[in-house]
Structure 1
Amino acid sequence: MSAWKAKRFWDVAEVIETEGGFTVVLDGRAVKTPAKSALVVPTRAMAQAIAVEWDAQEGEINPHTMPVTRSANAAIDKVTHQHAEVADMIAAYGDADLTCYRAESPIELVQRQSQQWDPLLEWAAETFGTRLYPVSGVMHAPQDPKVLSVLSDHVHAMDAFTLTAFHDLVGLSGSLIIGFAALKDHRPVADLWELSRLDDIWQAEQWGEDDEAQEQAAVKETAFVEAKNFHNLACASE
């Protein structure tokens, strides 16, 4: 979508029901994805959110202000056609999950990681019937392949729209477990984002805030929240 240069040419963006779901029409013309596929989404709520984004455009179309449209395009143009590859890529995070890699020192950080991340691993064990185990240090320590297979099966079972959201939730947080917790509303999305930044927050407490790092974190947090919102829209009932 970064190549879009078109300017607003329509007066009204409307939602209509169509084969396979819902779409948005601009003065009666159906919206297409960048790959020229039909923009058909699974719920009316998602289509309405997309229509709002199109209605908000003034002058040149700015895709950076259209997160739902962008994610829907990705689900249709990319994830639908590369579902297995995307699922494999995301499931692989389980073998090096952020919540499993613990500091060896100082003791205060070790305790904070245990206090905040252990409950997530416990929840995942109860939810999926299988468990990832924490390790100390930064060297890679492989998890049980049987455990990873169970988690991977859950990822592969996702539809394209859910997997699109999950891709961002996991990639931005660095944690398959945090991504699952977001999808399943285990904790508020803001809390989960904070859990993903535990180490960064610790460092800032010790050495002070870095303005550039804060700006980058804010951009990522916005994207994390948008991914969760996209999933909510994909699951919304009529």
Structure 2
Amino acid sequence: MSDWRPRRFWTEVTVVETDIGHGIVLDGRPVKTPAKAPVAVPTRAMAEAIAEEWRAVEKIIDPSAMPVTRAANAAIDKVAIQFDEVAEMLAGYGGSDLLCYRAEAPEELCDRQRLNWDPLLEWAAETFGARLRLAQGVMPVAQPPEALERLRTATRDQGVFQLTALHDLVTITGSLVLGLAVSRGRIEADRAFDLSRLDEDWQIERWGADTEAMATAEIKRGQLKDAANLYAMV
């Protein structure tokens, strides 16, 4: 089996202005997405971040080490083409938001959820006019249609690159409220990740941690921080 992998072929990486945004060129050749579209991003800051990722390549191109480039590719090749579908999928998280589902016991966990999650739900109510209902256990609770519609509007009121970042902020945490809170600067990505894992961390305190699960969690934490950084750039 061939072990061929793309290798560095360029010497100079430059950010250029184009009629569709800020582009990146390698020795004069434009960087393109996997679908062969030119990489053109909305801000200079994002373009410079992509350029730095290409400058950092030593021999082998490793996409896993290039989060801003991968996000730009996803935005151009996927999200721009399926914007409505992606926005609607993310808005759907509002109907089953993690922060609304509370433990019935023990009291210590219930208190922890209330102390940490209630302020974010109150923020969503004040910011978007979306007051969500709480439920105990895993049985679904119907959310007020007007609250869901306001969260849908907030989700759709994004640019393509913002929606790309919001996708990870929401899907990694399992919470539209947490994703929007990070995007609006209400909380940092690290804090949002900890809040999304409140139940898991409570269990770890009592029964101990699984090394493999913790390693996976830290990978997701890094991905969430990458998404927050991307949103801030655009």
Category of TM-score, reference length = shorter chain: over 0.9
Moved more, 183-192 or 159-168: 183-192
| DSSP 3-state at the match of 1:34 | coil
The corresponding residue for 1:114 is: 114
Q: For 2:52 and 2:45, how far apart are their aligned partners in 1?
A: 11
Contact 2:133 2:141 in 1 (8 A): no
Q: For 1:142 and 1:133, how far apart are their aligned partners in 2?
A: 8
Residue 107 of structure 1 and its aligned partner are, at CA, apart by 0.6
The corresponding residue for 1:68 is: 68
- How many pairs align? 231
Q: For 1:157 and 1:190, how far apart are their aligned partners in 2?
A: 24
The corresponding residue for 2:220 is: 220
Q: For 2:145 and 2:194, how far apart are their aligned partners in 1?
A: 29
| Residue 85 of structure 2 corresponds to residue 80 of structure 1 | no
Q: For 1:221 and 1:6, how far apart are their aligned partners in 2?
A: 28
TM-score, normalization by structure 2: 0.97
Where does structure 2 lack aligned partners over 5 or more consecutive residues?
none
The corresponding residue for 2:104 is: 104
Contact 2:13 2:27 in 1 (8 A): yes
Q: For 2:17 and 2:102, how far apart are their aligned partners in 1?
A: 49
| DSSP 3-state at the match of 2:17 | strand
Q: For 2:52 and 2:142, how far apart are their aligned partners in 1?
A: 45
1:1-238 aligned at under 5 Å gives the runs 5-234=5-234
| DSSP 3-state at the match of 1:163 | helix
Q: For 1:188 and 1:30, how far apart are their aligned partners in 2?
A: 34
Residue 58 of structure 1 and its aligned partner are, at CA, apart by 1.6
Q: RMSD between aligned alpha carbons?
A: 1.0
Contact 2:90 2:176 in 1 (8 A): yes
- Could you tell me which amino acid in structure 2 is paired with residue 106 of structure 1? P
Residue 103 of structure 1 and its aligned partner are, at CA, apart by 0.2
Where does structure 1 lack aligned partners over 5 or more consecutive residues?
none
Residue 20 of structure 1 and its aligned partner are, at CA, apart by 2.2
- Could you tell me which amino acid in structure 2 is paired with residue 233 of structure 1? M
TM-score, normalization by structure 1: 0.95
| DSSP 3-state at the match of 1:93 | helix
Same amino acid, percent of matched pairs? 52
Which of 1 and 2 has higher RCO (CA within 8 Å, sep 6+)? 1
Q: For 1:6 and 1:44, how far apart are their aligned partners in 2?
A: 26
Runs of 4+ in 1 over 6 A off after TM superposition: none
Residue 188 of structure 1 and its aligned partner are, at CA, apart by 2.1
Residue 213 of structure 1 and its aligned partner are, at CA, apart by 1.1
Residue 190 of structure 1 and its aligned partner are, at CA, apart by 1.3
Q: For 2:129 and 2:143, how far apart are their aligned partners in 1?
A: 15
